[in-house]
Chains A and B, each alone.
Chain A
């Protein structure tokens, strides 16, 4: 008996090892999506200030380039403004909706994992909530997955669970943008109807069907079209217009006027 006790005490670290490994593996595999989400949000609100500091230091060295990009975008917006002023047509419906864009800084970003997330420095305090669309100067970036008080986690386009409604520019053919891992510059559109008029070099933009993204935000360019295995739909390869590995600023689209659409959608889908 005594020798057994001795043995157990001398090897107590083995039990500790088993205990610690169990905790770690439960954290790793026992989490369902909701718990993982909670972990990511709380972890991000904790590490937010740290990453923000790092981004601040890093951004200092790219100010000149950032400036150039902003000037370019400013010019484009000015031109757009003039165009709108020139055309006497004013879309009243659109201007009535409570559409608002919030600029946010990217403070953490991954592109090489199977499921990538982005952390931005705006949260619930700034009016950001789950399900809002995020895009950069060059195009679509992702959708807000969870938001804490000061920071939010964005489910990047480069994530297995992301699906964004998009269409061929100036046409009615639409499908859903998805990403299957691998190359961070290339995504696919699945389930585009077989009769769709789509070819290499076509521009893909958002549909604006849901209120997540406004219409006509660039997504990418078509590089390849092939028939899917079932023969009824097309698989379209898209070169993303955003360089996801070099994101610094993004815009969050917060449109709330379409609650009725969301409500109807929820009712019909169920």
Chain B
């Protein structure tokens, strides 16, 4: 990875961590729905990245969030798991014979596929996140509600981001 793309990623990481801990962690709809928007970074990992690099980025992204939220290891564990499965999930939504570099987005995957891809990633992440957080598992209904509503909120936030990003790219 060259230096400029490393710095670019680092800025994105810092920006997402600040956004998450300063503002999004404050959102608490119906008592427990918080958007876990910071995984946007993992969503955008492109297919040219080395696997170990994606894992390390995700781990430190999660750890930084943990440091500011008083939840040691929680976000680090769920973000690393998500980064492990992300390349496989990308393959589900792009045609098998593509060998060029895929940066996940509505332009490269098609709008519908991208929406599905986002939803699958978000469901996976929220499920792991809330299961780890509510151990020892007891109240399944509450857990499922948390997963469903947080997934939806995160998903909507990311769709809006993609709409803005894709829109500004088209104008250029």
Contacts of A23 in B (CB 8 A): 59, 73, 76
Residue of B55, B56, B76, B135 near A27 (CB, 8 A) is B76
Q: Within the assembled complex, what's the spacing in Å between the Cα atoms of A110 and B68?
A: 13
Given contacts A24-B62, A46-B67, A112-B28, contact A17 B55 (CB under 8 A): yes
Q: How many A-B residue pairs have CB under 8 A?
A: 69
The minimal Cβ–Cβ distance linking B114 to chain A, given in whole angstroms, is 25
Contact call B77/A21, Cβ cutoff below 8 A: yes
Contact call B22/A27, Cβ cutoff below 8 A: no
CB closest residue in chain A, given B54: A13
Contact call A39/B72, Cβ cutoff below 8 A: yes
Residue of A28, A29, A31, A47 near B68 (CB, 8 A) is A47
Contact call B77/A117, Cβ cutoff below 8 A: no
Contact call B56/A16, Cβ cutoff below 8 A: yes
Flag whether B140 is at the interface (Cβ < 8 A): no
Contact call A20/B59, Cβ cutoff below 8 A: yes
Flag whether B143 is at the interface (Cβ < 8 A): no
CB closest residue in chain B, given A58: B26
Residue of B22, B28, B56, B132 near A28 (CB, 8 A) is B132
Flag whether B21 is at the interface (Cβ < 8 A): yes
Contact call B32/A17, Cβ cutoff below 8 A: no
Most chain B beta-carbon neighbours within 10 Å: one of A20, A46, A50: A20
Q: Number of B interface residues at 8 Å Cβ cutoff, please give it.
A: 29
Contacts of A43 in B (CB 8 A): 67-68, 70
Flag whether A125 is at the interface (Cβ < 8 A): no
Contact call A24/B52, Cβ cutoff below 8 A: no
Q: Classify the interface of chain A: helix, strand, loop or mixed.
A: helix
Contact call A24/B55, Cβ cutoff below 8 A: no
Give chain A's interface residue range (CB within 8 Å of chain B).
Answer: 20 to 34
Contacts of B72 in A (CB 8 A): 27-28, 31, 36, 39
Most chain B beta-carbon neighbours within 10 Å: one of A17, A24, A27, A117: A24
Residue of A12, A47, A54 near B67 (CB, 8 A) is A47
Flag whether A225 is at the interface (Cβ < 8 A): no
Flag whether A254 is at the interface (Cβ < 8 A): no
Residues in chain A within 8 A of chain B (CB atoms): 12-13, 16-17, 20-21, 23-29, 31, 36, 39-40, 43-44, 46-47, 50-51, 54, 110, 112, 117
Residues in chain B within 8 A of chain A (CB atoms): 18, 21-22, 28, 31-32, 50-52, 55-56, 59, 62-63, 66-68, 70-74, 76-77, 80-81, 84, 132, 135
Q: List 20 A-B contacts (CB under 8 A).
A: A13-B51, A13-B52, A16-B55, A20-B76, A20-B80, A21-B80, A23-B59, A23-B73, A24-B73, A24-B77, A27-B73, A39-B70, A43-B67, A43-B70, A46-B67, A47-B67, A50-B68, A54-B22, A112-B31, A112-B32
